[in-house]
Amino acid sequence: MICNLKSTARFAYVIRGGRETRHARADYHKEAVQRKITLMLMISPRMATAIQEKQYAPTLLNFFVYNPKFGPREGEEEKKILFYHPNEVEKNEKIRNVGLCEAIVQFTRTFCPTKPAKSLHTQKNRQFFFEPEENFWMVMVVRNPMTEKTNREGKPTVEYHEEEIIDTVYGAVLQQCYNMYKLFNGTFSRAMEAGGVELLKQKLETFFYRYLQTLHLQSCDLLDVFGGISFFPLDKMTYLKIQSFVNQVEENHSLIKYTAFLYNDQLIWSGLEQDDMRILYKYLTTSLFPRHLEPELAGRDSPMRPEMAGNLLHYGRFLTGPPNLKDPEAKFRFPKIFVTAEDGYEELHLIVYKAMSAAVCFMISASVELTREFCEQLDSLVGPQLTLLASDICEQYNVNRRISGPEKEPQFKFIYFNHMNLAEKSTIHMRKTASVSLTSVHPDLMKILGDINCDFSRVDEDEEIIVKAMTDYWVVGKKSDQRELYVILNQKNANLIEVNEEVKRLCATQFNNIFFLD
Amino acid sequence: MAADVHNKKVAWETQNGSLAPVGKLRAERSDSPTPGLVEGTEPGAGQDDAMFVHTRSFEDLTADGEEGEDTDPSGPASGLGTPLGDREQPEAEPVGPEEEQAPEAPAGGRAEEEDVTSEAWRGRRKHVFVLSEAGKPIYSRYGTEEALSSTMGVMMALVSFVEAGKNVIRSIHADGYKVVFLRKSPLVLVGVAHTRQSERELTRELLYIYYQIVSLLTLTQLNHIFQRKQNYDLRRLLAGSEHLTDNLLKLLDRDPGLLLCAVSCLPLPSSTRDVISSSLQAAKSKSLVFSILLAGNQLVTLVRKKDQYLHHMDLHLLFNLVGSSSSFREGEGWTPICLPKFNTAGFFHAHISYLEPASDLCLILVSTDREDFFNLSDCKQRFLERLRRRSAYPALQEATRSPSYPVSQVGIPELRHFVYKSKSSGLYTSPELPAPYQTEEEQERLMGLYQYLHSRVHHTTRPLRSIYHCGERENLLAWVTSGFELYLCFSPLGTKAQAVMAINKLLKWIRKEEDRLFILSPQTY
């Protein structure tokens, strides 16, 4: 949410530009900042008469889970509700809101029994419906972004921006909520079988109470729709080294069922199913890694890395499990996750071990008890090797960067996603964590990318869309053979033909001409 | 009288002016890369005053300023309105469209009753429902209102439930279809569409249907009826008018004019058109406000009272009235009609007649006086005489034989079809549909693509200057400048370079042909 004084709609636009520059962004925003300064100067004498305006970003209003079968009789409606955020909401209002969702879903079945409603648009908010398991409904209610103005009489008026929110983005966020729950708790029906409604309610409460606080709805964008995995580009030699490292560890510890290897928040190797890796990757990169960033940045003598002193052989440490191997009294446990198995789901311990920028995840069946001895063994085997590998990869990475020449601000930025291997690449996002997504382009351009993505998802055909925005940026979207590419070009005076040539060059250099459609 | 009739003009202006986001962008559009084509100088721009109320491609759906205050029957419109009582007793000689058309409603249209639980009913491309605030069915495009009364009850329940939370329901989205709600008190309109149209486009279509109903009753009467009896069955008053709504929905699916808020003209040598216009201008009468000559769904000419402008929506409603009733062919029709964008409170009286029974040429004379039938009939005779004297009639007849032109006239091989709208004149031109788009299904598909482009370039918060869409069946391009809107459809083999060249060539061609394709010098009495 940003609060600011302003007098015209035009100025509102500049302020939004200004918000980005606070995060120190690309060159073309300098212009916006300058414009903002001039405007400030222009309007400041009239500030007294200016209308006060406050801008509000989209926020989470409600989030609930219900099952219509649990309270079918009148008077028992409350039983349908399994989780409701915020919990303070009065009981009758909860029942009313759940009732509306039921009615909407039921109503749309009149027109298509198999494809019920996915979202409801109202003036003030949008509701997203998702039925992840039969009869279990998850609903997320997002308040539309709005502007609050105080007019000359001093009366506040609110204007809702109804077309700012893109359905596919928030629909994907809701599905992510479920997938994240499932990763740590298994399915809803599993909890029902294990301990009935009470256990499910308890699990939902524990999980979503914390998880919902990490949802940052204002920074959701196209990348949430893809939910892809960023892969680390690597030469063959180094890749083989990593693979032999993984094989060696798995051979030494036959308990390990799956392994995943990441460098710099990017995936290099994974033995998990794609869909499991996708959600685990999301957890690691947006939640676990950012939480453990500080000790590495801290100096050697800093109290934040106490256990480092005694261990000069390597930089390895556990991100999950025992925080300090030297302390025999310290209790520890590994988080459990649920992944796809031949017969439904299997429960696993998740061990995440990190040395410098290299991280490796080992997954071991939850039925095995993991002892301190095991951790020590793993530490002494993996620690030194991973430290070595990390510096190898780092060196290789720097060599490659030098070869590709000094980095200069390119004329274009792009997002690429491959539906087959979930590979995603973005030069638009600086860094994506749970709390902030730093993009280098104006939010409206990001939304145009979202619009193009919606257009693509409607037909299963190869398509290309080139648009020129009102700000004169060109945006190109290409969909070909399960791959999608979105390019934003900062060549305002270019024409359609030149833009096409530029994108062709980009495809040739970055993607080996995988996009054939002219 | 004239001032009286036009008392709503101010309201329109503010309404159009309140399209805030677009308003902001207008200034930006004027420094578009085509300096020669600023508004008013683009091909097809009228030389003098425009004929129409100046509108953008989208009606503002949020500004309700025009209504509400009209509910007082003794209000400003009372001088021109016909009270409802008069409507229920059709005037003696002339044919009123709603009352007398019911028996001869087209056999294919409403006759069969659909099973509302069948796959076929569910699979309909676009459903439209109209209901009263009491949840009573008023209209359904497919299936009888009786069979759907419970569904409509649910619709009303959803609307009021959301309203109870001081909120407004807009739409429901599911895989492959949307449900759009439009609340225009005292009516509620609901559309269910399996098309790619945006929520906004669908709302605009519902607004058309709303105005269609208002045009038969006036909003004043509509409010009055429901104030008196909340659960009144409006079908009793609208009986026989369903085919008008059916036909309007068909037009919305096929006619780019309704999408663009523009009208297309019958291609005609400007000398001939000038003779017709001046003949029509000369055949004036005291209470005559608009004289409109149509050829099919194209405009031949329009003469208006000075300072009185017709809104596209009203003209399209007139087109629809003429196009969906065959009775006007049998003689001179005399019908009260409300032009809701002009004034929702009162009736005009329209004299509608074909120049010849077998011809497509239809003359509509719109008057403020309900006793004016013989006067207007006389106007028509004077117009015809003058036309014959100046021997313009054969040329006009000749032109109606080829009401359109093939796209090949433009001489761009890759170009399959286009729609060009001159913003300042509110007129558009478009060639006849070529080979792959001649079936009804393909025609609607092409229109669907244009609707898609239109909704993207005119997005409320993220409008675009241009969009190029390259698909497997065709390539499309839309370009909006301060002066014009252009939508092009190319063969899928066409390249972007060819498309860019085609635009320039096409604009030159339109400029060359503009005095044939557009009405450049509109007339007033």
**pLDDT at position A403, please?**
67
Mean pLDDT of B470-476: 93
- Residue B101's CB is within 10 A of a number of other CB atoms, namely 21
Residues B375 and B319 in one domain: yes
Mean pLDDT of B287-311: 91
- B352: its two tokens: 């509608």
Could you check whether the bond before residue A323 is cis, i.e. omega within 30 degrees of 0?
A: no
Where does the pLDDT of residue B101 fall: very low under 50, low under 70, confident under 90, or very high at 90 and above? very low
With CA atoms as reference, report the closest residue to B266 among B397, B358, B392, B403: B403
Residues B331 and B215 in one domain: no
Residues B274 and B395 in one domain: yes
Residue B199 lies in a domain: yes
First and final CA of chain A: distance in angstroms?
Answer: 42
Helices (H), B107-185: 107-110, 119-122, 149-164
Place of tokens 């060696």: A248
With CA atoms as reference, report the closest residue to A114 among B176, B85, B366, B96: B176
Q: B368 vs A515, which has greater pLDDT?
A: B368
Q: A108 vs B59, which has greater pLDDT?
A: A108
Which one of 1.10.3470, 3.30.450, 3.40.1710, 3.40.1010 gives the CATH number of domain A412-511?
A: 3.30.450
Backbone angles phi, psi at A114, to 5 degrees: -95, -15
Q: How many domains does chain B have?
A: 3
Judged against a pLDDT cut of 50, whether residue B1 lies above it is answered with: no
How would you write B431-474 as a 3-class SS string?
CCCCHHHCCHHHHHHHHHHHHHHHHHHCCCCCCEEEEEEECCCC
**pLDDT at position A216, please?**
86
CB-closest option in A118, A451, A497 to B174: A118
Residue B300 lies in a domain: yes
- CATH number of the domain to which B323 belongs: 3.30.450.30
Where does the pLDDT of residue B3 fall: very low under 50, low under 70, confident under 90, or very high at 90 and above? very low
Strand order in the sheet with A146-150: A2-5, A52-56, A146-150, A156-160
> Quick one: residue B495, left, alpha or beta (phi over 0 = left, psi -120 to 50 = alpha)?
beta
Contact present, B64 and B505 (Cβ < 8 Å): no
CB within 8 Å of chain A, chain B residues 254-313: none
Judged against a pLDDT cut of 70, whether residue B409 lies above it is answered with: yes
Q: Give the separation between CA B294 and CA B322, rounded to whole angstroms.
A: 9
Where does the pLDDT of residue A3 fall: very low under 50, low under 70, confident under 90, or very high at 90 and above? very low
Give the SS3 label for residue B67.
coil
Q: Which chain B residue has its CA at the smallest distance from A93's CA?
A: B165
**pLDDT at position B273, please?**
92
**pLDDT at position A93, please?**
93
CB-closest option in A120, A464, A470 to B470: A464
CB within 8 Å of chain A, chain B residues 3-22: 20-21
Judged against a pLDDT cut of 70, whether residue B84 lies above it is answered with: no
pLDDT digits (tens, 9 = 90+) for A456-514: 988 888 899 999 999 999 999 999 888 999 999 988 888 999 999 988 888 887 776 55
- CB–CB of B468 and A465 under 8 A? yes
Judged against a pLDDT cut of 70, whether residue B430 lies above it is answered with: yes
Q: What is the residue type of A199? A: L
Judged against a pLDDT cut of 70, whether residue A107 lies above it is answered with: yes
Q: Percent of chain A at pLDDT above 70?
A: 82
Judged against a pLDDT cut of 50, whether residue B44 lies above it is answered with: yes
**pLDDT at position A76, please?**
85
Contacts of B28 in chain A (CB under 8 A): 470
- CB–CB of B496 and A497 under 8 A? yes
Contacts of A118 in chain B (CB under 8 A): 173-175
Bridge-based pairing state of the strands A424-426 and A429-432: unpaired
pLDDT digits (tens, 9 = 90+) for A114-132: 999 999 999 999 999 999 9
Where does the pLDDT of residue A41 fall: very low under 50, low under 70, confident under 90, or very high at 90 and above? very low
Residue B18 lies in a domain: no
Q: Which chain A residue has its CA at the smallest distance from B481's CA?
A: A470
Residue B12 lies in a domain: no
**pLDDT at position B259, please?**
93
Residue B62 lies in a domain: no
Mean pLDDT of B104-130: 73
Q: Which chain A residue has its CA at the smallest distance from B25's CA?
A: A470
**pLDDT at position A247, please?**
94
Mean pLDDT of B211-236: 92
Backbone angles phi, psi at A422, to 5 degrees: 65, 15
Q: Which chain B residue has its CA at the smallest distance from A494's CA?
A: B33
Looking at residue A287, the DSSP 8-state letter turns out to be I
Give the SS3 label for residue A5.
strand
**pLDDT at position A404, please?**
62
SS3 content of chain A, % helix, strand, coil (to 5): 45, 25, 30
- Burial grade of B437 (CB within 10 A; 0-12, 13-18, 19 or more): buried
Average pLDDT, chain B: 81
Q: Give the separation between CA B464 and CA B452, rounded to whole angstroms.
A: 13
Average pLDDT, chain A: 82
Judged against a pLDDT cut of 90, whether residue B326 lies above it is answered with: no
CB-closest option in B167, B192, B456 to A123: B167
Given this chain, do its domains A53-220 and A412-511 carry the same CATH topology? yes
Q: Give the separation between CA B196 and CA A455, rounded to whole angstroms.
A: 9
Q: What is the residue type of B352? A: I
Judged against a pLDDT cut of 80, whether residue B63 lies above it is answered with: no
**pLDDT at position A449, please?**
94
What does the buried/exposed string (b/e) look like for A115-154 if buried means 16 or more CB atoms within 10 Å of the residue's CB? ebbbbbbbebbbbbbbebeeebbbbbbbbbbbbeeeeeee
With CA atoms as reference, report the closest residue to B182 among B193, B172, B200, B170: B170
User: Mean pLDDT: which of A34-48, B9-23, B477-491 is highest?
Assistant: B477-491
Give the SS3 label for residue B58.
coil
Q: Which of A68-72, A200-204, A207-211, B421-425 has the lowest mean pLDDT?
A: A68-72
Contacts of A93 in chain B (CB under 8 A): none
Q: What is the residue type of B196? A: R
Domain boundaries, chain A: 53-220, 236-289+313-404, 412-511
Where does the pLDDT of residue B38 fall: very low under 50, low under 70, confident under 90, or very high at 90 and above? low
Contacts of B496 in chain A (CB under 8 A): 466, 496-497, 500, 518
- B257: its two tokens: 């004019």
User: Span A53-220: which CATH code?
Assistant: 3.30.450.70
Judged against a pLDDT cut of 60, whether residue B475 lies above it is answered with: yes
List Cα–Cα distances, B37 to B52, B418, B453, B457, B482, in angstroms. Answer: 20, 18, 21, 18, 7
Q: Tell me if chain A has a CB within 8 Å of the CB of B497.
A: yes
Judged against a pLDDT cut of 70, whether residue A11 lies above it is answered with: no
Give the SS3 label for residue A289.
helix
Which of the listed residues B372, B401, B430 is the one where a domain comes to its end?
A: B401
Contact present, B523 and B303 (Cβ < 8 Å): yes
CB within 8 Å of chain A, chain B residues 67-106: none
Q: Tell me if chain A has a CB within 8 Å of the CB of B459.
A: yes
**pLDDT at position A51, please?**
59
Query: What is the radius of gyration, based on Cα positions, of chain A?
Result: 26
Residues B385 and B447 in one domain: no
Task: List the single best residue of A11, A110, A123 to mutate versus B (max B Cβ within 10 A).
Answer: A110
Residue B45 lies in a domain: no
Contacts of A119 in chain B (CB under 8 A): 172-173
Q: For the packed helices B242-254 and B440-457, what is the interaxial angle rounded to 10 degrees?
A: 70
Q: Give the separation between CA A169 and CA A178, rounded to whole angstroms.
A: 15
**pLDDT at position A327, please?**
77
Residue B268 lies in a domain: yes
Residue B490 lies in a domain: yes
Q: Which chain B residue has its CA at the smallest distance from A128's CA?
A: B173
pLDDT digits (tens, 9 = 90+) for A421-441: 999 998 888 754 544 556 778
- CATH number of the domain to which B241 belongs: 3.30.450.70
Judged against a pLDDT cut of 60, whether residue B98 lies above it is answered with: no
Q: Give the separation between CA B416 and CA B487, rounded to whole angstroms.
A: 11
Contacts of A443 in chain B (CB under 8 A): none
Bridge-based pairing state of the strands B427-429 and B415-422: antiparallel
Q: Which of A316-320, A377-381, B111-115 has the lowest mean pLDDT?
A: B111-115
- CB–CB of A517 and B192 under 8 A? no
- A409: its two tokens: 């601000």
Give the SS3 label for residue A369.
coil
**pLDDT at position A458, please?**
82
- CB–CB of A462 and B196 under 8 A? no
Interface predicted TM-score (ipTM): 0.84
Helices (H), B283-351: 312-323
Judged against a pLDDT cut of 50, whether residue B28 lies above it is answered with: no
Residues B431 and B381 in one domain: no
pLDDT digits (tens, 9 = 90+) for B385-406: 998 888 888 889 888 888 889 9
Mean pLDDT of B112-134: 86
Judged against a pLDDT cut of 90, whether residue A171 lies above it is answered with: yes
Contact present, B57 and B312 (Cβ < 8 Å): no
pTM over 0.90: no
Q: Which of A217-221, A418-422, A447-451 has the lowest mean pLDDT?
A: A217-221
CB-closest option in A111, A463, A467 to B471: A463
Where does the pLDDT of residue A405 fall: very low under 50, low under 70, confident under 90, or very high at 90 and above? low
Domain that holds residue B355: 263-401
Contact present, B300 and B283 (Cβ < 8 Å): no
**pLDDT at position B268, please?**
92
Which of the listed residues B349, B369, B401 is the one where a domain comes to its end?
A: B401
Judged against a pLDDT cut of 90, whether residue A341 lies above it is answered with: no
Q: Which chain A residue has its CA at the smallest distance from B27's CA?
A: A470
Residues B488 and B429 in one domain: yes
Judged against a pLDDT cut of 60, whether residue B78 lies above it is answered with: no
Residues sharing a CB contact under 8 Å with residue A188, sequence separation 6 or more, in sequence order: A65, A132, A133, A136, A200
Could you check whether the bond before residue A303 is cis, i.e. omega within 30 degrees of 0?
A: no
- B239: its two tokens: 């009986």
**pLDDT at position A305, please?**
45
A236-289+313-404: CATH class: alpha beta
Judged against a pLDDT cut of 70, whether residue A10 lies above it is answered with: no
Residues sharing a CB contact under 8 Å with residue A403, sequence separation 6 or more, in sequence order: none
Residues B267 and B397 in one domain: yes
Judged against a pLDDT cut of 90, whether residue B82 lies above it is answered with: no
Q: What is the dihedral of CA B297, B301, B305, B310, to 10 degrees?
A: 30
Which of the listed residues B385, B401, B417 is the one where a domain comes to its end?
A: B401
Residues B160 and B177 in one domain: yes
- Burial grade of A155 (CB within 10 A; 0-12, 13-18, 19 or more): exposed
**pLDDT at position B196, please?**
86
User: In degrees, to the nearest 5, what angle opens at C-alpha B441 toward C-alphas B171 and B320?
Assistant: 70
Q: Give the separation between CA B408 and CA B499, rounded to whole angstroms.
A: 15
Element spanning A498, H or E: helix A496-511
